[in-house]
Structure 1
Amino acid sequence: MMQYPQIDPVAITIGPLQVHWYGLMYVVGFVAAWWLGRRRAHRLGLSHDDIGDLLFYAALGVVVGGRLGYVLFYGMERFLADPLWLFNVWEGGMSFHGGLAGVLIAALLFARRQRLAFFRLTDFIAPLVPIGLGAGRLGNFINHELPGRVSELPWAMPFPHMGPEPRHPSALYEFALEGVVLFAVLWWLSRSPRRTGLISGLFLLLYGVFRLAVEFVRLPDAHIGFIAFGWVTMGMLLTLPMIIAGLVLIGWSRRQAVGEKRSRVLGSGGRA
């Protein structure tokens, strides 16, 4: 059994101002996406300024969509009792699925503005995302969030305020899978031009499989519990459509062309 590291969730205190590690993890994710995006901006004919604009759109999508998704899927009762709780982002409480929806809406708006094909843009974005996902899971771990089920594995650990039983460090599992492994696979595969939609489909499929696997050792939210059959969680329910969509998109990509830079689609007013 391992001991849970004693890390203060507040990273910096300046007078009344407190900067939480959870918030800093979002900064890490956005900075990493900005830096990596600039390295590959030429692939879509984008400038470094365009990457900054894309990051702004995506950041709004992540924060607004992630928070609204959490409220909708996991915290509606608390929101109805205290509507201002919606703005307490530093406490945690962000939904990946809501954030994903927000980013997709942001990508659609950016693609229309830049006259880019939507799935060419999402293929560009997908490899930039996992570092932020991994950083966010580290933030969850520091915040004592996402406790796992009781386990006797040697790396299990007691979670603060949850008794002496050792538990799966499920946030660290997600950090390794959704952050490290997903980034390595997508960044490596996207080094060379691929068929449109393939990288986006792989992102949905792999994230879905990784998240689904961890859900079997992660405790459901206490105020929701299991949704059905004594083992189905809300995370599973929200992740299964991602796996299906990923498979469909990978199948669709097999009929698409391989391309590097964007080019005008004659007569359509768009760019492939």
Structure 2
Amino acid sequence: MTYLHQIDPIALSLGPLKIHWYGVMYLLAFATAWWLGRQRIRAGRLPGVDMNGLSDLAFYGMLGVVLGGRIGYILFYSFGAFLDNPLMIFKVWEGGMSFHGGLLGVMLAALWWTRKQKMHFFDTMDFVAPLVPAGLGFGRIGNFIGSELWGKYTEAGWGVIFPSTDPNVLALQLNPTQLQAAYASGALDRFARHPSQLYQALLEGLAMFCVLWWFSSKPRPRYAVSGMFALLYGCFRFLVEFVRVPDAQMGDHGYLAFGWLTMGQVLSVPLVVLGLYWLWRSRRSPTLQPVIPAADRTGKENA
């Protein structure tokens, strides 16, 4: 069974102002992370930090995601184009964000915030890790709505057809009526692709959130939650890359080596290694015990 993708990427138009679904997904990601962070602060998962401290951490984290994601995309995927046109780094409306760059940005932001708080860096990272997957899921849904970062052809009579961005479908030059007729007749089935964005939303978003939220629901040794995050993301991303269309500007048809290795896989391998190392190191690390903030503790006592 195939699905003809015809979702408008613009969520709302107000005259010349157009609000894209991808931007809405970013807002949902930040709002969800903030709400989840409040729950963890109230549960005492980051002793000594109140809501004001969380607000500062969230602000630095948002800057890290946006700046790191954009700079990472330029460095990892479009450095040559950047050298030819340095101003492209500011053209965020043309797309181009890297998870791995965003992760580095968040880590640098967390490091800055942690040093100001005089805390251990990995206590902060273990606190932040469960807040991230929901945002990853929203981001991948935004990719799907925007008909970008799709997968390879399924070649099996099922999948999603992306008529607004697939160059092979665009080459047919079909008007809306002809497009619907071709889809109804099955003539477009050969252009059905893996909805790799949805695969990632389910794995990096829903599955990772469920595992990490459960895993972090009770005190864990330092490094453990961060290690679980890195291991899961690295494995999930590496696997999905096999059915995702690689970035065309990278190497031979988007592959760096062996006719299948992508930049996404190369960048994910260190995460798997780090995840395993952090989980191993957590075995002999101290466990941060929850300390419920005084305001919440007083409220419970009065209730």
- TM-score relative to the length of structure 2: 0.83
* Alpha-carbon distance, 1:111 to partner: 0.6
Residues 155 and 55 of structure 1: is their aligned pair in 2 closer, same or farther, counting only changes over 3 Å?
Answer: farther
- The alignment status of 1:128 with 2:131, answered yes or no, reads yes
- The alignment status of 1:63 with 2:92, answered yes or no, reads no
Alignment of 1:164-243 (within 5 A): 164=188, 165-224=191-250, 225-243=254-272
Q: What is the RMSD computed on CA atoms of the aligned residues?
A: 1.4
Identity rate of aligned residues, in percent? Answer: 53
Give distance in 2, aligned partners of 1:154 and 1:119.
47
Give distance in 1, aligned partners of 2:81 and 2:4.
28
* Alpha-carbon distance, 1:167 to partner: 1.0
Q: In the alignment, what sits opposite 2:100?
A: 97
Give distance in 2, aligned partners of 1:125 and 1:153.
40
Give distance in 2, aligned partners of 1:156 and 1:55.
38
Structure 2: segments with no counterpart, 5+ residues: 169-187, 292-303
Give distance in 1, aligned partners of 2:50 and 2:93.
32
The amino acid across from 1:58 in the alignment is G
Q: In the alignment, what sits opposite 1:76?
A: 79
Q: In the alignment, what sits opposite 2:296?
A: none
Q: In the alignment, what sits opposite 1:118?
A: 121
SS of corresponding position for 2:18: strand
* Alpha-carbon distance, 1:12 to partner: 1.6
* Alpha-carbon distance, 1:82 to partner: 3.4
Residues 155 and 56 of structure 1: is their aligned pair in 2 closer, same or farther, counting only changes over 3 Å?
Answer: farther
CA contact (8 A) 1:23 1:90 kept: no
CA contact (8 A) 1:205 1:247 kept: yes
CA contact (8 A) 2:134 2:206 kept: yes
CA contact (8 A) 1:146 1:171 kept: yes
Give distance in 2, aligned partners of 1:155 and 1:199.
37
Q: In the alignment, what sits opposite 1:16?
A: 16
* Alpha-carbon distance, 1:153 to partner: 4.8
Residues 189 and 153 of structure 1: is their aligned pair in 2 closer, same or farther, counting only changes over 3 Å?
Answer: farther
* Alpha-carbon distance, 1:15 to partner: 2.0
- The alignment status of 1:256 with 2:259, answered yes or no, reads no
Residues 189 and 240 of structure 1: is their aligned pair in 2 closer, same or farther, counting only changes over 3 Å?
Answer: same
SS of corresponding position for 1:116: coil
Give distance in 2, aligned partners of 1:212 and 1:166.
22
The amino acid across from 1:36 in the alignment is L
Residues 84 and 16 of structure 1: is their aligned pair in 2 closer, same or farther, counting only changes over 3 Å?
Answer: farther
Runs of 4+ in 1 over 4 A off after TM superposition: none
The amino acid across from 1:229 in the alignment is F
* Alpha-carbon distance, 1:253 to partner: 0.4
Give distance in 2, aligned partners of 1:209 and 1:119.
21
Structure 1: segments with no counterpart, 5+ residues: 263-272
CA contact (8 A) 1:20 1:90 kept: no
What is the count of residue pairs matched by the alignment? 262
* Alpha-carbon distance, 1:154 to partner: 6.0
CA contact (8 A) 2:149 2:245 kept: yes
Give distance in 1, aligned partners of 2:236 and 2:149.
15
CA contact (8 A) 2:5 2:160 kept: no
Q: In the alignment, what sits opposite 1:28?
A: 28
The amino acid across from 1:198 in the alignment is A
Deviations 1:52-99 (A, max 9, x none): 111100000000000000011112233234333222323331000000
Answer with 7-16 or 100-109: which moved more: 7-16
Residues 14 and 241 of structure 1: is their aligned pair in 2 closer, same or farther, counting only changes over 3 Å?
Answer: same
Q: In the alignment, what sits opposite 1:39?
A: 39
SS of corresponding position for 2:220: coil
- The alignment status of 1:144 with 2:147, answered yes or no, reads yes
CA contact (8 A) 2:129 2:229 kept: yes
Compare relative contact order (CA 8 Å, sep 6+) and give the higher one, 1 or 2: 2
SS of corresponding position for 1:100: helix
The amino acid across from 1:38 in the alignment is R
Give distance in 2, aligned partners of 1:78 and 1:11.
30
- TM-score relative to the length of structure 1: 0.92
CA contact (8 A) 2:151 2:245 kept: yes
